Amino acid sequence: MPTVKAVRVVVRWRAGPAWTSGPPEEQAGWDEHAAFIDDLIERGIFVMGGPFADYSGSHTLLERVTADEARDLVLQDPFVANGVFELEDVRTWNIYVDELSR
């Protein structure tokens, strides 16, 4: 049986009604969203994230929080409040293989 090396939380986003064509940094409220993410980084919660190549949505990887805590936290993102992002789902992820942390 595989061993769980780590547990993370995956957050999936889809483009919200306020999303305009182009990358996230061209969306309304980018500076506030970036400041929100910077705070999560400083708190050791945000691991990685970014948009899909077609800008139809995004993935975020978090640690040190449960899925429920992550959901409550990410719903505070200014991109959610202004309709740029819509939360698709939040899932706990059991990691068996992690070559990035080597």
If pLDDT is split at 50, 70 and 90, which confidence band does 2 have?
confident
Cβ atoms < 10 Å from Cβ of 1:
4
Quick check: is 62 in a domain? Answer: yes
> How far apart are the C-alpha atoms of 102 and 98, rounded to whole Å?
7
For 4-32, write each residue's pLDDT tens digit.
999 999 999 999 999 998 999 999 999 99
The runs of H, that is alpha helices, within 43-93 are 67-74, 78-81
What confidence tens digit (pLDDT) does each residue in 28-84 have? Answer: 999 999 999 999 999 999 999 999 999 999 999 999 999 999 999 999 999 999 999
Structural domain range at position 62:
6-95
Q: Per-residue pLDDT for 1 more than 90?
A: no
17 domain residue, yes or no: yes
Half-sphere exposure of 18 (CA within 13 A, CB side): 15
Whether residue 23 contacts residue 84, with contact meaning beta carbons closer than 8 Å, is answered with: no
102 inside domain: no
Please report whether residue 88 resides in a domain: yes
Residue pair 26/15 in contact by the 8 Å Cβ criterion: no
Any domain includes 73: yes
Domain harbouring 39, CATH code: 3.30.70.1060
Give the C-alpha separation, 10 to 90, whole Å. 6
Residue 36 has a CB neighbour count (10 Å cut-off) of: 20
Q: How confident is the model at residue 49, as a pLDDT?
A: 97
Give a yes or no: residue 86 inside a domain.
Answer: yes
Q: How many domains does the chain have?
A: 1
Question: How far is Cα of residue 101 from the mean position of the Cα atoms in its chain?
Answer: 19
Domain membership of residue 100 (yes or no) is: no
Would residue 11 count as lying in a domain?
A: yes
Res 35: pLDDT: 99
